A = this chain, B = another copy of it.
């Protein structure tokens, strides 16, 4: 029960597991909040007219459709969240039937295009019909994997067949301005085994970068730069990502899917090179990507302004999806480190402690007295909804699928990548993980079942975890501690990851961060927020003494229970927990004294 289940013949090092459960701790709390948010977000989809669009297209209601052509995708993401969450929603089955009823006889499906009478696929650079289709594919695969419900899968395959008949090397060659369909098609191929879906995904990946996304009817007065459409350079040639961040990372993740399923080592090398360039030059300390509001775009290398960080929630989720695919492909701990960084510091900050309010833009610095509109601006804190509502249901489906990222299996054992109170099973090998992580670095892994032969238990040792020990013995960081033996039920392995607060210095080439320092502890990036500072102290006036000792204190009463850090009168909270006490000044990077 996980997104990304490579075919048996796929070129992967690690295999996802389907039975991982989170049993307690921070992630259990946040997943419970996410579950409670599912019906709330459904009501917002109703209020915003998303459901009505589909009902009109299905003939269940009359009227005119509202909003952009890619709106259906928000509904599909919500259905995907319901599927991964597993607790169901009373309206989900009926909604699935409405979607099926809305679909044209020839398989085409898009409520806004159909009802408005617009010709399909005539302005893919802005309609994003492929993008919406890709989200349907992901939702359908989730429903099929999670509950065996194939209703949405039938709709998805009919639409995918229509796409495969309409686009390709011997048919129409335009591309959608917003990638995503590549991931969707590969997932549908994984679930159904239909080769044409993989072939179409490969076609979309290989023909991008030649200006095909900006061909028919394209209006160059807005975003004339092909990079805005991830269309400036072929993927095999690109050294880094640029332009619209969400589009670029979704595309890279889709290209990684194609590389995995086709065993394309050249393509995998290209996306690994790009991931490395983004990590070194274009990623905020929180893991978020995207430096520019204008065009929601990556900036130049080392252009990482904390105050104007865009770091769109969807871009963080795309990075997570990309890192996860690279992790499966390579088995390298660096990608699992990225998954951890992104989950705690780029995805989690996008949602309120209540689970129901969201950031679209994840700033690293909100100034005292900042003001902004009630849409994307983070000045007013998280919002219930946005005119472009891509982010909220994206958070929902991601948190609902969170257990998938914790562990993987191989024929030879299991690998634990993310630490949380959880139970994990890979075939005959099952363990229980007990930990107070991320507040406490002690992790106990208890074997519940094991094969009689020798197997390997691999435990990720994060790159930041200097001094880590396994059963009291020091282990190197930035890789896996691998224990190979015959395990027996009741065996227990004790991992200790020292959570000493640490200073993070910016790269000297990042102009916007010169003279500043950030603070982290374990997997968490910290921030200063106004309510925690002494009365009368203005946040902008705080200067941080890198020599001052940092002390940690767990505060069960604060912000749902967090460990705060203190140094020379300055109090820091985990970045993810900011903006839960009203809109206040906050900063991650603090000027040094």
Contact = CB atoms under 8 A, between A and B. Distances in A.
Given A221-B387, A514-B514, A540 B509 contact: yes
B306 A292 contact: no
Interface in A474-499: none
A422 B170 CA distance: 71
Nearest to A388: B221
Most buried by B among A221, A292, A308, A367: A308
Chain A facing B: main interface SS: loop
Nearest to A223: B373
Given A225-B373, A292-B293, A372-B225, A512 B305 contact: yes
A280 interface: no
Interface string A403-439: 0000000000000000000000000000000000000
A365 B305 CA distance: 14
A296 to B, nearest CB: 9
Interface string A202-226: 0000000000000000001101110
Contacts of A299: 307-308
A378 to B, nearest CB: 12
A86 interface: no
Nearest to A305: B305
A501 interface: no
Nearest to A377: B225
Given A224-B375, A293-B292, A308-B308, A512 B515 contact: no
A294 to B, nearest CB: 4
B307 A308 contact: no
Contacts of A306: 511
A242 interface: yes
Interface in A363-380: 365, 367, 369-375, 377
Given A305-B308, A511-B306, A512-B511, A300 B370 contact: yes
A303 interface: yes
A591 interface: yes
A369 to B, nearest CB: 8
Contacts of A101: none
B374 A224 contact: yes
Contact of A367 (B242, B300, B307, B375): B300
A164 interface: no
Contacts of A220: 387
A224 B293 contact: no
Given A293-B294, A371-B242, A365 B511 contact: yes
A232 to B, nearest CB: 8
Interface in A219-268: 220-221, 223-225, 227, 242
A516 interface: yes
Contacts of A375: 221, 224
Interface residues of A, number: 41
Nearest to A374: B224
A301 interface: yes
A151 to B, nearest CB: 33
Contacts of A223: 373
**Which of A301, A369, A511, A514 gathers most chain B CB within 10 Å?**
A511
Contact of A293 (B293, B377, B387, B514): B293
A388 to B, nearest CB: 8
Contacts of A511: 306-307, 365, 512, 516, 589, 591
A292 to B, nearest CB: 7
Interface in A253-296: 292-294
Contacts of A301: 367, 369
Nearest to A516: B514
Contacts of A589: 511
A387 B224 CA distance: 11
B292 A303 contact: no
Contact of A294 (B294, B367, B387, B509): B294
Contacts of A516: 511, 514
A223 to B, nearest CB: 7
Nearest to A296: B294
Contacts of A303: 307-308, 367
A373 B307 contact: no
Interface in A503-560: 508-509, 511-512, 514-516, 540
A458 to B, nearest CB: 40
A508 B543 CA distance: 11
Interface string A66-102: 0000000000000000000000000000000000000
Interface in A564-593: 589, 591
A294 B292 CA distance: 8
Given A511-B512, A512-B511, A292 B308 contact: yes
A300 B300 CA distance: 23
22 contacts: A220-B387, A223-B373, A224-B373, A224-B375, A225-B372, A225-B373, A242-B371, A292-B308, A301-B367, A302-B540, A303-B308, A305-B305, A305-B512, A306-B511, A308-B308, A508-B591, A509-B540, A511-B512, A511-B516, A514-B514, A514-B516, A515-B515
Interface of A: 220-221, 223-225, 227, 242, 292-294, 299-303, 305-308, 365, 367, 369-375, 377, 387-388, 508-509, 511-512, 514-516, 540, 589, 591
